[in-house]
Amino acid sequence: MKKDPQNSSKELASVLFPYEEWIPTEPNIWVAKSRLEQKDKEPEKWKKEMSQAHILTDRGSIAYFLPEKIINNESNKQCADLVLDGEIVEMKMVSGSRVTLGGQFRYGLKQGSALQKNHNNIKEHSVFIWLLTDLSVGSVKAKIAGELKDREDEGRFICFFEKTDELYSWTYKELINLIGR
């Protein structure tokens, strides 16, 4: 039986941030009450993140925007943007070269893995990139596979190609298999 994305998203978001209140803001989108402050403080950032989320939620996904930072005794770190269909996802918008794509992907991995540190049962974290440049699907897959070659992360890479209006998703394992590791 397939997991219910609504329940699995809310469940994971609540495990990660048990004291947070989740506010429904648009169809298929809930936002941590503490993150709603961003709407007024950083309206351009808010608009960009909502646009990214709409690419996914307009196709039926369920999104829970997480608080901006992980605040604990050890640190005050930025964390992944949201829980999407029951998995941690960091969103990035890339308008540069393959080098920029690789750097943003690595940074997204870091933000996603920060949420896993205190939750050993959470195994996956993914990265979504809205690609604004004219890179080919093959070039993007090869670049991300190269970024994953020495890593053990579980999750998937989701990429929306602005120029062709196409959305792709590959597991990290599928991409690593491209380079034969």
pLDDT digits (tens, 9 = 90+) for 21-64: 999 999 999 999 988 877 788 889 889 999 999 999 999 999 99
What structural domains does the chain harbor? 5-178 (3.40.1350.120)
Q: Give the pLDDT score at 4.
A: 65
φ and ψ at residue 142, rounded to 5 degrees: -65, -40
Residues of the chain above pLDDT 90, percent: 66
The pLDDT of residue 116 is above 80:
no
- H or E element, residue 9: helix 5-16
**pLDDT tier at 73 (50, 70, 90 boundaries)?**
very low
**What mean pLDDT, rounded, does the chain reach?**
88
- CA proximity to 123, closest of 135, 115, 131: 115
* Six token digits for residue 57: 């939620």
Q: What is the mean pLDDT of residues 66-76?
A: 63
Would you say 131 and 140 are in contact if contact means Cβ atoms under 8 Å apart?
A: yes
Q: Name the residue with higher pLDDT: 31 or 3.
A: 31
**pLDDT tier at 180 (50, 70, 90 boundaries)?**
low
Q: Give the pLDDT score at 2.
A: 45
Q: Give the pLDDT score at 170.
A: 96
Q: What is the mean pLDDT of residues 123-142?
A: 94
Q: Give the pLDDT score at 147.
A: 94
- CA proximity to 114, closest of 75, 150, 87, 144: 75
Q: Name the residue with higher pLDDT: 143 or 41.
A: 143
